[in-house]
Amino acid sequence: MSRRKEAIPAEESDQLTIKPLGAGQEVGRSCILLEFKGKKILLDMGIHPGLTGMDALPYIDTIEASEIDLLLISHFHLDHSGALPWFFAKTSFKGRCFMTHATKAVYRWLLSDYIKVSNISTEQNLYTEADLEASMLKIETLDFHEEKDVGGIRFRAYHAGHVLGAAMFMIEIAGVKILYTGDFSRQEDRHLCAAEIPAVRPDVLITESTYGTQIHEKREDRESRFTGMVHDIVTKGGRCLIPVFALGRAQELLLILDEYWGQHSELHDIPIYYASSLAKKCMSVYQTYVNAMNSRIQKQIAISNPFVFKHVSNLKGIDHFDDVGPCVIMASPGMMQSGLSRELFESWCTDPKNGVIIAGYCVEGTLAKHIQSEPDEIATMSGQRLPLKMRVANISFSAHTDYQQTSEFIRALQPRHVILVHGEANEMSRLKAALIREYETMPEVEITVYNPRNTTSVELTFRGEKAAKVMGSLAVHKPVEGEVLSGVLVKRNFNYHLLAPSDLATYTDIQVSQITQKLAVHYSGSVSTLHFLLLQLAGHVEKMDEVKSSFRVFDVIDLTVDKNMITVEWKGSPVNDMFADAVLVTILRAETLNEPSVKIDDYGAKFEWDKFKDSLVEMLRDMFGEAAVPKSVTKDDFYVTVDDKKAIIDFYNLKVTCEEDLTLQKILQTAVSRLYNSLAPISAIQM
């Protein structure tokens, strides 16, 4: 059985393999491999923010990059797109890569910034600006809801919330639908819409599990907590640091702060700085791709651009910053690994008047995560230890789904398989347990939840029914039980069509062709010699034209003898070519022979049943042993006994019957027919 499995080519196999190469029981370096029907798809190509150099990459070395057909990038965050230039430049990947317009636009600047930052901290550089430029040429874009087809893989993007341009991908291969959510949020915020619930039900859902079973506080609550805390810190004369990722949530926070400042005139003296040239660069992207935002922004943007802030000023760098009094600074990176947010934190952390608000999700091992456990001391970049006295608050604005949203999402979609990625091991297993518990009481809903580790694959089997559409002259009447259908099966993008050859041109772009062949052979012998030999060969020669001496042999090969030349003409096909070869050999032979002495009309190949019987007996004895065929068999009573099973052979009709063993019958039937075909003269076999 297992051997047979191997025999099935990958594209016919029913097995769907999902293998996280990154983001399996971890957050960061998202990269998931999908394999089905011989198609290989990668979802996202991120780097791990907590690791550096080659370590930050997903486990690409475990796969063959050249075999990947399609790469889909869900959104521009580094942990989803950060390794893309490397993947293009340093691997043999030659498939196609898609992302949304907005993602591509931001990706360009975000990664360019990342390259600069990496240069400063002299990390091992994965790729250069030139690699990034080159990748821009290879990335193709798609719009939300637009359907694309890459070699039979059909996919479309849905709004995912989260950040500008973030998409969920519904991928369909041979009727099996897989939804990859990327990072998503079902909560509409100031500028983004909530993640959509696709109208079609996926068979497999690959979803993020960043927040596991946690439940977010309400949007109003967290906003008022945030503004309240900022207000409190600055009015007490402190400095408020908000480490953020330059793009994405930062825009949302700026919209909130700008609005809050607008409502509170007493705060107007206190500056809000936004220390990111990157965000400034990307503002034009935010202004252009309004179609990817919610309707509120789309309405507003026609009057005045909400992304032109009244109370926020841009800060070019720490050199331009005059640290004199209370202020609010948003600075990247969001997890304070290094850079401006780290510098500011280190210079402010000793003053209890100051405060830091962690607004995004933090990966294990980063400073932002570390200070949430409220340590007394922290280590600076230079290795010095400083007491931590400033206020630390964690107000999550991270637009990831929480348990409530995930659970609703799954309930609405009802996938049969849920695969969790992009979440820390503990959160993930908690979410898995919670989901299983939720559906425990509903035996009618079949949901299996998986949480694979990196490079461990989940294997699912989809017994896809393969249906062919019968069209044209084959389909004139409805099929009847037992009817034998014969035609060309055309397979395209996992769709099958069964057509008569004559209908091919009508329904497909395939044309039926004909190749006529004409060979000229030198011949100086006599016509009658040739005629004789041809008779010997074919048993029957049709004389086409007495005068010109032209013959037709095997009903398909035309010969015309003309002076010292014979032209052989036929329509190409494997059988006809074989006949033609035989005829050619005959011609060459005829040239070396003298006139035959036999009267040619009498000669013709005949079929002798007795000879056939003897041959058959010999063959069957070879096949099944001496004892299988009794010595006394006659043509009218011919039977074989194999393993005590008796098979009767109806000699003249070449029919085998064996009621006990159908396999034996089939084997015998094949053997008998083939022997007959090889012994009988060609004229006796109907072609």
Partner 1 sequence: MCCFDESPHCYLLEIDDFTILLDCGWDELFSVNLVDSLKQNINKIDAVLISYPDLLHLGALPYAVGKLGLNCPIYGTVPVHKMGQMFMYDWYLSRYDSEEFAIFDLDDVDKVFDRMTVLKYNQTIALKGKGYGITITPVPAGHMIGGTIWKIVKDGEEDIVYAVDYNHKKERHLGCCELEKVTRPSLLITDAYNMLYQQPRRSARDESLVVSILATLRSQGNVLLAVDTAGRVLEISNLLDNIWHNKEAGLFAYNIVLMSKVAHNVNEFAKSSIEWMSDRMVKSVDDARNNPFQFRSVKLCHSFEDLKKIPSPKVVLASMPDLECGFARDLFVMWCGQPNNSVIFTQRTSPGTLARYLVDNLGRVLSLQLDVRSRAPLAGKELDEYLQTKKQKASETMEYEESSEDEDEISGPVGHDIMVMEEPRRQGKKPHFPVFPFHEEKVKVDEYGEVVKHEDFLIVDGVEEAEKDISDAQEEPEEDMEIEEIPTKCMSQSKILKLNCNILYIDFEGRSDGPSIERLVFQVKPRRLIIVRGSQEACEKLSAGCQAENIWMPQKGDHINATIERHIYQLLLKDSILKDLMFKKCRESEVAWVTGQVVYDTGSTDIEKSDVAEAKKNQPHLDLVDYNLIPSHKTAFLNDIKLSDFKQILGKNGIPSEFIGGTLRCCGGNISLQRLETGKVSIEGTLSEDYFKVRDLLYEQYAII
Nearer residue to partner 1 within complex by CB, 627 or 662: 662
CB of 515 to partner 1, least distance (A): 5
CB of 299 to partner 1, least distance (A): 3
Residue 541's φ and ψ, nearest 5 degrees, are: -125, 130
- On whether the CB atoms of residues 449 and 418 are closer than 8 A, the answer is yes
Please tell me whether residue 219 binds partner 1 under the rule CB under 8 A.
Answer: no
Position among 504, 530, 537, 629 found at the interface with partner 1 (CB under 8 A) = 504
In order of 138, 394, 532, 585, 588, the CA distances from 523 in angstroms are: 62, 99, 15, 12, 8
Torsion over CA of 448, 208, 75 and 29, rounded to 10 degrees? -100
Position among 220, 377, 481, 626 found at the interface with partner 1 (CB under 8 A) = 481
H or E segment to which residue 560 belongs: strand 557-562
Q: CA Rg, the chain, in Å?
A: 39
Position among 384, 441, 511, 632 found at the interface with partner 1 (CB under 8 A) = 511
Does the active-site annotation cover 400?
A: yes
Residue 456's φ and ψ, nearest 5 degrees, are: -95, 130
Please tell me whether residue 584 binds partner 1 under the rule CB under 8 A.
Answer: yes
Instruction: Tell me whether the omega of the peptide bond preceding residue 333 falls within 30 degrees of 0, making it cis.
Output: yes
Scanning residues 22 to 41, which ones bind partner 1 (CB under 8 A)? none
Q: Which residues pair with 27 in a beta bridge?
A: none
Please tell me whether residue 597 binds partner 1 under the rule CB under 8 A.
Answer: no
Nearer residue to partner 1 within complex by CB, 366 or 669: 669
Number of residues that bind partner 1 (CB under 8 A): 95
Please tell me whether residue 201 binds partner 1 under the rule CB under 8 A.
Answer: no
Q: 649-685 in b/e burial notation, b at 16+ Cβ within 10 A?
A: bebeeeebebeebeebbebbbebbeebbeeeeebbee
CB of 12 to partner 1, least distance (A): 7
CB of 230 to partner 1, least distance (A): 29
Contacting range for partner 1; rule: CB under 8 A; set: 213-221, 337-345, 505-513, 629-637:
505-513
Position among 122, 373, 384, 486 found at the interface with partner 1 (CB under 8 A) = 486
Position among 119, 372, 673, 684 found at the interface with partner 1 (CB under 8 A) = 673
Nearer residue to partner 1 within complex by CB, 76 or 403: 76
Position among 324, 480, 547, 627 found at the interface with partner 1 (CB under 8 A) = 480
Nearer residue to partner 1 within complex by CB, 236 or 491: 491
Please tell me whether residue 2 binds partner 1 under the rule CB under 8 A.
Answer: no
Q: Please say whether the dihedral angle defined by the alpha carbons of residues 468, 473, 478 and 481, taken in this order, is positive or negative.
A: negative
- Name the residue among 388, 400, 391 with its Cα closest to residue 161: 400
Q: 502-532 in b/e burial notation, b at 16+ Cβ within 10 A?
A: ebbeeeeeeeeeeeeeeeeeebebbeebbbb
Please tell me whether residue 112 binds partner 1 under the rule CB under 8 A.
Answer: no
Nearer residue to partner 1 within complex by CB, 141 or 380: 141
Please tell me whether residue 105 binds partner 1 under the rule CB under 8 A.
Answer: yes
What's the full length of the chain, in residues?
687
- Name the residue among 572, 535, 539 with its Cα closest to residue 557: 572
Scanning residues 229 to 288, which ones bind partner 1 (CB under 8 A)? 281, 284-285, 287-288
Please tell me whether residue 512 binds partner 1 under the rule CB under 8 A.
Answer: yes
As a whole number of angstroms, the distance between CA 332 and CA 245 comes to: 5
Contacting range for partner 1; rule: CB under 8 A; set: 69-77, 186-194, 345-353, 463-471:
463-471
Q: Please say whether the dihedral angle defined by the alpha carbons of residues 504, 509, 514 and 515, taken in this order, is positive or negative.
A: negative
Task: Write the interaction track for partner 1 spanning residues 278-317; mark x where CB under 8 A is met and - where it is not.
Answer: ---x--xx-xxxxx---x--xxxxxx--------------
Scanning residues 132 to 191, which ones bind partner 1 (CB under 8 A)? 136, 141, 143-148, 156
Nearer residue to partner 1 within complex by CB, 255 or 290: 290
**Catalytic residue chosen out of the listed positions 400, 422, 497, 531:** 400
Q: What are the structure tokens assigned to 423, written together?
A: 């979440």
Q: Which residues are catalytic?
A: 400
